[in-house]
Amino acid sequence: MPDKKMGAEMTDAQAIADHWGKGDVYSLILETMEVAGIDPSSVTIEQLAPVDHFHARGFPATVELADVLPIRRGDQLVDIGCGLGGPARYFAKRFDCHVDGIDITAPFVDAANRLSALVGMEDVVACRHGDGQKLPYGDNSFDGGYTQHVTMNVPDRSAFFSEAFRVLKPGAFFALTEHGLGEVGDPHHPVPWSEDGSGAYLMRPADTIAALEDAGFSEIAAADIGEKHLKGYHAVIELAEKGEAPVFGTHILLGKQAPQIVRNAARNIEERRTHPVQILCYKPG
C-alpha cells in the first residue's frame, strides 16, 4: 500500500523546488550576462555575484556571514541549500577551502556546477541535488556548515538540524540566516520563498534556537539583521523606481513578480511580520 505521507512530502518538495527554479537556469544566466556586457570566457566570481548569491541581500550578506565564521585554510565545508553556488565559490576562494553544496532545486544545481566550471573552480566546489532533511554525507565529515535563507522552506526543522549536526565534526560550526516569523500576523505574499504561503514553514527565532539546542548544538548566538535587510530592500526599490535596476541581478530569477516580492519583503519586516536573524552555533567538541 502506498505511503501517503511520503507521497505528500515528495509532492511538497517538488513544489518548493519548482518555486525556486525551473527550466534551463544556466542558459538564462549566460544570456543575461552577455546582454550586460560580461564575457563568459573571462567572467569572475565577483562579476557573477549579483546573480549567484540568490538569497536576501545577496553578496553583501554572504561577506558579512563569512566575516564571523572561524574557517581555516583547507577546511571541508557543507553548504545546505547551495542554490547557484555563489556563496560556496566565495568561501572556497576566500578561505582556500573545499565546499560541498546540496540543493533541492535541480536546475540550480546544474547551473551551480556549470558556473563553477566556467570560473575554473570545479575542483574545490561540488554541488549535488538532494534534500537537507536527509544529507548524503557520512557522519563527522565537515569542519563547518552553513545555510542561507533556506529554512523558511523546510517542513521538518528537527530533521534538518539533526542532519547538519550528524555530518559535522565535533567542534565544527554551523551558521544560518533566515527570515523568522515575526510577532504581528502572517507575512504578505508573494515573498522570495513563497508566492501564496504554500511551502512556507517560518518559525519564531526563539523556536529556531530551541530546535538547534534539541539537535545538540551549543554556544548558540543570534543576531537581529532585520535593519540591514530593510535597507537593502529599500535600495533595490529605489533603483527600480528610478529605472536604474541593473540588467544582471537576481530579479531575472524572481520573474515578473520581482517588484512586488521585494516590496513585500520590506513591508513584512517593517510591520514585524518577519524577523530576519543570523545564528552561529557549534557541535560540542
pLDDT tens sequence for the chain (285 residues): 445 444 545 456 666 655 555 689 999 999 999 999 999 999 999 999 999 999 999 999 999 999 999 999 999 999 999 999 999 999 999 999 999 999 999 999 999 999 999 999 999 999 999 999 999 999 999 999 999 999 999 999 999 999 999 999 999 999 999 999 999 989 999 999 999 999 999 999 999 999 999 999 999 999 999 999 999 999 999 998 999 889 999 999 998 899 999 999 999 999 999 999 999 999 999
b (16+ CB within 10 A) / e for 96-129: ebbbbbbbbbbbbbbbbbbbbebbebeebbbbeb
Rounded CA-CA distance 35/29 in Å is 10
- The per-residue pLDDT for 142 is 99
- The per-residue pLDDT for 6 is 43
4-129+137-282 maps to CATH 3.40.50.150: yes
- The per-residue pLDDT for 2 is 46
Name the grid cell of 186.
Answer: 502572517
- The per-residue pLDDT for 26 is 96
- Residue ranges per domain, the chain? 4-129+137-282
Helices (H), 4-44: 4-20, 25-35
- The per-residue pLDDT for 5 is 47
- The per-residue pLDDT for 104 is 96
Q: Residue 227 CB: number of other CB atoms within 10 A?
A: 10
Rounded CA-CA distance 88/108 in Å is 13
